[in-house]
Structure 1
Amino acid sequence: MIRTVAETGSTNADLLAEAGQGASEGVWLRAERQTGGRGRAGRAWTSPPGNLYASTIVRLRPGDPPAPTLALVAAVAAEGVASAYAGPGHLTIKWPNDIVAGPAKLAGILLERADDAVVIGIGVNLAHHPSDLDRPAISIAALSGAAPDPHPFLVELADAFAHWLGRWRGEGLGPVRARWLARAHPIGSALRTGGREGLFEGLTDEGALLIRYADGTNSIIRAGDVFLL
């Protein structure tokens, strides 16, 4: 079920509150405009009308893969739908769940948990992208010349997310991880995280980032900002 509101502070905050009141898995909330959108580490997320701002709820069950790997589920779903509009060859996934065109960010995903509920917020630059950030951004309109309507885009995204969630739940992380790697930047891509530069070596079986540094040491990154160089 998709519900749309003209304006709200944050679709994630709204669904976290609804989850605490018993809202079921599979509901989606879309806002035409957000006044308090958030990205990772509490960063503000610019929210002009015409872009996608939406959140959904997953209720964790016994036997599910680790909750943080839902970031990979959301990433492969969002990349697949966005690429159908942006055109082939434009988009890749940057760990763990940013959708980028080269160095420019097209979409971001934010997971927040309350008890057995994980709220997954997805923001996609469909019509507009900010130009005053400390890192580049891009929109589907800038890539393809046309901006998709947010509601049909979300209908497709909800279907794609349900597909990959079903595989994550029924088959484990393996198929999601394989799809993520197929759509990510290439092995050997230069990255920076935690003040150090290294090369992308793939993902662990649990979905953590593998980096190889110039001194030959390897590191497993489970959280933090990662920048493509």
Structure 2
Amino acid sequence: MAAIRTVSETGSTNDDVAVLARGGAPEGLWLRAERQTGGKGRQGRAWQSPPGNLYASTLVRVDPKHPPPPSLALVAAVALHEAVSRHTGRARIKWPNDIIINRAKLAGILLERQGDAVVIGFGVNLAHHPEDLDRPAASLGARVTPEALLRRLAASFEIWLERWRTQGLAPVRAAWLAAAHPVGTPLSSGGTEGTFDGLDETGALRLRLADGAIRVVHAGDVFLV
């Protein structure tokens, strides 16, 4: 059962949960902030955090008998997509775990390792979305409250986490592919353009190049072309 705590303001919920993880905090806790002053995205990018959006983090205790910890990115993406889809049927997943609507970014997920724990942060544009980025952004609308969305997210995440542990990555990978943009979608990664060719068995992106060769992408930014 998820234990959700809300604070009015903090620097970063991921940083706060990382401290709790190092102190032995149990899996299942969630920390939500109404506002962040130091929110962060992947590769050190700043994450704008005005009130009205969802900013929340949780932690997962990992074990060698479970699937590889990086594949929790797919678990988080599937759970968030499921929660968001209660409010829109247009959301899709872009590798590894961005949620997009009509090519515009609605939400991002950041995973950070802390010993035997993985801290997972979720940022979802609800009431606001940034206008000054180098890529389009979207928001779900103020009619969806952060509190309600987090309750759905926490419940969905708990279910998918258990499947990941007991059934392996296969059902998570299948759900991710069902929620993603279609095979054949033009993408670019690291300056190389190709088309989406699904995921390999580990959850890495398969990028089909113009000559038919497959490039497997394990990390890095991926853009819709």
Question: What TM-score do you get using the length of structure 2 for normalisation?
Answer: 0.98
Which amino acid in 1 is paired with 2:35? R
RMSD: 0.7
Give the alignment of 1:22-61 within 5 angstroms: 22-61=24-63
Q: What displacement does 1:149 show? A: 1.1
Give the equivalent residue in structure 1 for 2:172.
176
Tell me the secondary structure at the aligned position of residue 7 of structure 1: coil
> Matched residues in 2 for 1:118 and 1:40: separation?
15
Match status 1:98 vs 2:101: no
> Matched residues in 1 for 2:60 and 2:156: separation?
14
Tell me the secondary structure at the aligned position of residue 159 of structure 1: helix
Match status 1:13 vs 2:6: no
Q: Structure 1: which 5+ runs fail to align?
A: none
Give the alignment of 1:67-216 within 5 angstroms: 67-85=69-87, 87-88=88-89, 90-141=90-141, 146-216=142-212
> Matched residues in 2 for 1:216 and 1:157: separation?
38
Tell me the secondary structure at the aligned position of residue 164 of structure 2: helix
Give the equivalent residue in structure 2 for 1:225.
221
Give the equivalent residue in structure 1 for 2:5.
3
> Matched residues in 2 for 1:196 and 1:175: separation?
29
Q: What displacement does 1:147 show? A: 2.8
> Matched residues in 1 for 2:11 and 2:203: separation?
31
Give the equivalent residue in structure 2 for 1:65.
67
Residues 40-75 of structure 1, C-alpha deviation per residue, up to 9 Å, x if partnerless? 000000000000000001000231100000000000
> Matched residues in 2 for 1:217 and 1:72: separation?
25
Which amino acid in 1 is paired with 2:105? K
> Matched residues in 2 for 1:114 and 1:83: separation?
30
> Matched residues in 1 for 2:64 and 2:190: separation?
34
Aligned length: 223
> Matched residues in 1 for 2:82 and 2:56: separation?
17
Runs of 4+ in 1 over 3 A off after TM superposition: none
Q: What displacement does 1:152 show? A: 1.5
Q: What displacement does 1:216 show? A: 1.9
Tell me the secondary structure at the aligned position of residue 84 of structure 1: coil
Which amino acid in 2 is paired with 1:42? G
Tell me the secondary structure at the aligned position of residue 113 of structure 2: strand
Tell me the secondary structure at the aligned position of residue 86 of structure 2: helix
> Matched residues in 1 for 2:64 and 2:191: separation?
38
Q: Structure 2: which 5+ runs fail to align?
A: none
> Matched residues in 2 for 1:102 and 1:41: separation?
24
> Matched residues in 2 for 1:218 and 1:176: separation?
22
> Matched residues in 2 for 1:2 and 1:190: separation?
39
